[in-house]
Amino acid sequence: MDGAADITGRCVAISRAAFGRGDLDAAVEDLHRLPADLPVRGVLAADLLDALVRSDRTVEPRRLRQLDVLLEIADAQPPDTPEWPQVRAAARTLALLRAGAEGEVSDPRAALAELESFLAVVPGGGDDKVAPLRDAMRAMLDALRAIDDGDEATLERLPRDAQRLRETLADDPTGGPLADAFASLADLMAANHRGDDPRPALDVLREAVRRLPPGSPIRESVTDLDALLAPLATMRSGGPDGPVTPATAEQLAAMTALVRRPDLSPGDRAMYHSAIGGALLSLGEEGDLARVEEALEHLRTSAAVAPHDDPRLPSHLVGLALGLVHRGELTGSVADAVEADEVLERAKRLAGGPGHTLWSVINEMLGQVRRRHAGTNDPHTVALEGLREHAWRVLLQTDLRAANTAARRAAQEAVDVARQCLVFHDPASAIRALDSGRGLALYAATENRQIPGRLDAAGRPELASRWRTATAAGAAAEVPIDLRREVLTVLTEHSNAGALLDAPTLGEIRAALHTLDADALVYLVPAAGAVPGYAVMAPAQGPPAYMALPNLHLLDDVDVERYLKALGRRDTLIADPHRDLTALDDPADFAGSLDTVCDWAWRAAIGPLVQRYLSGLPRPDSRRLPRMVLVPMGELARIPWQAARRPDGTYAVQLAAISQAASARMLCHSAALPAVPPTPVGLVVGDPDPGGEAPNLAAARLEAYAIHRSFYPGGRYVGRRVDGSPSRSGPGSVEQVRAWLTDAGPGAGTVLHLACHGVINTDPTVATSYLLLAGGGRLSVEELVELTARCPERTVGLIVLAACRTGLAINGYDEAYSLGTAFLAGGVRSVLSTQWAIPDRATSALMYMFHHHLIAEGLPAWEALRRAQNWMLDPRRSVPDGMPAPLRRHLAHDELSHVTAWAGFVHWGQ
């Protein structure tokens, strides 16, 4: 044992080194030799921490590792000095950075909160020499947190933020290579999240790491990451449908060397075992039973050594369950399925609920496992529960693009689960499943307005107040992600707050159908390979039902393929601002393909529905034709179902009334709103000058002017008059339409008719849709949602979008987010939108007749549209006395009965 003189000498040496007059490394060694109960030991540790933080060599791995031990000593006997809190915060920041760089952070949300709390104490955010490392670490922790949360907006920003950091530090000899490595790692994370081939990004990361100095704190950890990712990258190189390439012996040896390192924490050791097991399984394609057994040994070890509170444990358990399922498939063992069931139940308990990123995966696997053994009679209901994760993910997002990204895989999973439900003859559950993957971004837009009331009902007024404060400007995008998560957690756990994540019940759908005077809600599900298509029906009265539709194939029917290709070419032409409108009416292309697809639509779906189902449903008024509301899944949304044609030439619109809905959720949303009857007051927009961005619409001017004069004389007409001169009431600008949409006064009216250009861009990076108004002004789908949120007291009964492709979804057919449905989400009661670029002159006649039936005859919007479409088909059509002469002249020049002339319009809502 050291004597008093030795202890004093070491204390002096430590103190001298702390103030720049000695060797810091030797001083740290001397500190460890001091008695643990020496009162001055904590003060000396604090002095050394201050010296290390200020040292030019702070970022060296060896120095960073010294911080943890010194902090433990200083925290046990903290000095009572004003500088200590700042010194401690700076040292803890660096220690956390070291842990993150070496892959020791298992809870990124907690680590990020800790980092921000430390930086708040350190003046100026800390020493400039570690600023690049600090900024990179903050961004990476935020990205890891975003992956856990499913925060798509943050993940989308990550590569751009990393690139900005790279550009900022381009000339910094120390920070530049570090920023390159970080940006390359960000690109790899983004590629992996998108499901892209990760190999190109991994190659770039390897090159960036080679440029780092040998002492870099992240070089070793990225090298380890490479060893873990390389086999997975090789396996996935063929894409999701390509062949799987097993991990090589060299790759497995490198992974095994990692797991044998003695310095690994239990959590990291579990992660490495799980990675080796996954590589041996070859994504569930491995056929060698011995290799599968080896994989299971690693996967069992992973689940056994992981700490019980490790957030990665559910993932390890899912891997173990996958291995058991795969072995059971190879051997025919039911025992493996039973054990996999137990393992997945444990993973489900640990996941806790739909806020976990593996919730749908766990429940889907449980459903598959339970179909393999006789442990339950309803295995499909477990998979149905997993679909709740999709609603959670979408509601969590802070903007529309992120919500669409979060909803991207929802529809396919919903269809897969619905087919499982139908195998068990359970159409009620199939309806819930299908609606769980439909219109989720639209649902989020409507639900954001309801959240304060739900929180009040849940007994959380303080949380409701925080939400209202965050959305005071009217934009739900202003709500921080942490507040969103807290709100969703409260609402999903509170039974009186409503089934936030669940699709409407059958009873709720029936009530909505009764309110809307409709007989049935019908989902159309396309066939897939040998699996037939289906119609799944929720009637206003009677039990739910379904019927197989073996002809409902999109990809194996020549008529449908020809139509979709022609429609695609037409959409491309419309996107050209200098297009030749005469090319839109090529009878050999679009019109011809549309004609033949009408016959297919009858054979594939509408014929069986009308003849075998609708005819047998009870109706409140037997004099009314049957009425159904369709929810077509996937590309079936592009088919004009109202124009399905019976072999004798009769169209569906002559036999039944057909509307569409984005989802049962949106149907119930519309039905719950009080009706707003149309009045002869409103706003009519007629061909506003687009400022050279698109051609003139002469017939649209005639249409709009005639509709204004005949049916809405008490309203306003903006845009251009019939002779092309601007209206005295205004040019039809964005500001005028915006002002009308937010005018809650009684003089504004309840009807908006827009005869203008509609533009859509479906590129995922810039997806949007907008109305093109005077001077090239744009009223986008995103702004429409925000406008209606700012003025919830505004009541609009009807909006007619007599513009091109206003019903086309901007980001996936099943998301159904279009200009038309955006208005519905904002509370508009009824909307007419278009499926394609509508012909100018024929549309003017159709629209005049629609408003004639709506205003002069007092019919509801859905019936007014059906009557107008039937009028177009009637060769003995009678012309109302009030139709202006110029519009009458169009009747002699156009083939009004052709499908292109009338079938492009679809009714939504009330």
Model's pTM, two decimal places? 0.86
Contact 659, 627 (CB under 8 A): yes
Backbone angles phi, psi at 753, to 5 degrees: -115, 120
Closest CA to 754 of 766, 775, 738, 743: 738
Structure tokens at 608: 């069986």
C-alpha–C-alpha distance, residues 267 and 341, integer Å: 24
Environment class of residue 560 by beta-carbon count within 10 Å: exposed (0-12), middle (13-18) or buried (19+)?
Answer: buried
Q: Say how many CA atoms lie within 13 Å of 695 toward its Cβ.
A: 15
Structure tokens at 384: 């149905």
Count CB-CB contacts under 10 A for residue 123.
Answer: 8
Count CB-CB contacts under 10 A for residue 303.
Answer: 22
Query: What average pLDDT score do residues 833-856 get?
Result: 93
Strands 798-801, 751-755: pairing is parallel
Q: Which residues contact residue 347 at a Cβ distance below 8 angstroms, ignoring those fewer than 6 apart? A: 313, 314, 317, 318, 321, 358, 362
Q: Write down how long the chain is.
A: 910
Query: What average pLDDT score do residues 123-128 get?
Result: 57
Amino acid at 162: A
pLDDT band at 60 (very low <50, low <70, confident <90, very high): low
pLDDT recorded at residue 1: 46
Contact 754, 773 (CB under 8 A): no
DSSP state of 584: G
For 167-203, give the secondary structure using H, E and C: HHCCCCCCHHHHHHHHHHHHHHHHHHHHCCCCHHHHH
Contact 221, 178 (CB under 8 A): no
- Which helix (H) or strand (E) segment holds residue 48: the answer is helix 41-54
Amino acid at 526: P
C-alpha–C-alpha distance, residues 765 and 404, integer Å: 11
Which of 135-139, 627-631, 773-777 has maximum average pLDDT? 627-631
- Which helix (H) or strand (E) segment holds residue 304: the answer is helix 289-305
Structure tokens at 664: 């049962």
Region class of 678: left (phi > 0), else alpha (psi between -120 and 50), else beta: beta
Q: Which residues contact residue 442 at a Cβ distance below 8 angstroms, ignoring those fewer than 6 apart? A: 662, 663, 665, 666, 815, 816, 817, 821, 822, 824, 825
* 505-514 pLDDT tens trace: 999 999 999 9
Structure tokens at 548: 């197989």
Kindly tell me the number of DSSP H helices and DSSP E strands found in the chain.
38, 14
pLDDT band at 576 (very low <50, low <70, confident <90, very high): low
* 372-426 pLDDT tens trace: 876 667 788 899 999 999 999 999 998 878 888 888 889 999 999 999 999 999 9
Strand order of the β-sheet with 830-834 is 545-549, 533-539, 520-525, 627-632, 657-660, 905-909, 830-834, 798-801, 751-755, 682-686, 716-719
Query: What is the maximal distance between C-alpha atoms in the chain?
Result: 118
Strand order of the β-sheet with 768-772 is 757-761, 768-772, 778-780
C-alpha–C-alpha distance, residues 172 and 595, integer Å: 65
Q: What is the DSSP string of 114-177?
A: HHHHHHHHSGGGS-GGGHHHHHHHHHHHHHHHHHHHT-HHHHHHHHHHHHHHHHHTTT-TTHHH
Query: 908 - beta bridge partners?
Result: 660, 831
* 877-896 pLDDT tens trace: 999 999 999 899 878 766 89
Radius of gyration of the chain (CA): 33
What are the DSSP E strand ranges found in 574-715?
627-632, 657-660, 682-686
Region class of 97: left (phi > 0), else alpha (psi between -120 and 50), else beta: alpha
Query: What average pLDDT score do residues 522-527 get?
Result: 97
* 187-198 pLDDT tens trace: 888 887 777 778
Distances, alpha carbon 490 to alpha carbons 14, 320, 434, 477, 889, in Å: 53, 32, 26, 20, 62
Contact 233, 78 (CB under 8 A): no
Q: Which residues contact residue 594 at a Cβ distance below 8 angstroms, ignoring those fewer than 6 apart? A: 563, 566, 640, 643, 899, 900, 903
What are the DSSP E strand ranges found in 263-386?
none
Query: What average pLDDT score do residues 449-459 get?
Result: 88
Query: 759 - beta bridge partners?
Result: 770
Region class of 730: left (phi > 0), else alpha (psi between -120 and 50), else beta: left
Structure tokens at 419: 């087919």
* 152-176 pLDDT tens trace: 888 888 888 888 888 888 887 767 8
C-alpha–C-alpha distance, residues 612 and 521, integer Å: 15
pLDDT recorded at residue 346: 97
With the C-alpha atoms ordered 207, 208, 209, 211, is the resulting torsion angle positive or negative?
positive
pLDDT recorded at residue 681: 94
pLDDT recorded at residue 103: 61
User: 440-457 and 664-672 are packed helices; what angle lies between their axes, rounded to 10 degrees?
Assistant: 50
Environment class of residue 242 by beta-carbon count within 10 Å: exposed (0-12), middle (13-18) or buried (19+)?
Answer: exposed
Backbone angles phi, psi at 472, to 5 degrees: -60, -30
Asked whether the predicted pLDDT for residue 59 surpasses 90, the reply is no
Structure tokens at 711: 């049916």
pLDDT band at 771 (very low <50, low <70, confident <90, very high): very high
The whole-angstrom distance between residue 223's C-alpha and the CA centroid of its chain comes to: 33
Asked whether the predicted pLDDT for residue 476 surpasses 90, the reply is no
Query: What average pLDDT score do residues 215-234 get?
Result: 72
**51-54 contacts: CB < 8 A, separation 24 or more?**
51/17, 51/18, 51/19, 51/20, 51/24, 52/24, 52/91, 53/87, 53/90, 53/91, 53/94, 53/127, 54/127
Buried b (16+ CB within 10 A) or exposed e, 277-295: bbbbbbbeebeeeebbebb
Query: What average pLDDT score do residues 71-81 get?
Result: 87
pLDDT band at 359 (very low <50, low <70, confident <90, very high): very high
C-alpha–C-alpha distance, residues 844 and 706, integer Å: 9
Q: Which residues contact residue 70 at a Cβ distance below 8 angstroms, ignoring those fewer than 6 apart? A: 28, 31, 45, 48, 49, 52, 91
pLDDT band at 847 (very low <50, low <70, confident <90, very high): very high
With the C-alpha atoms ordered 321, 322, 324, 325, is the resulting torsion angle positive or negative?
positive
Contact 94, 67 (CB under 8 A): yes
Average pLDDT, the chain: 87
C-alpha–C-alpha distance, residues 222 and 183, integer Å: 13
Contact 849, 800 (CB under 8 A): no
Closest CA to 752 of 683, 706, 847, 820: 683
* 9-38 pLDDT tens trace: 888 898 888 888 888 888 888 888 888 888
pLDDT recorded at residue 508: 96
* 266-302 pLDDT tens trace: 988 999 999 999 999 987 888 899 999 999 999 999 9
Count CB-CB contacts under 10 A for residue 357.
Answer: 17
- Which helix (H) or strand (E) segment holds residue 668: the answer is helix 664-672
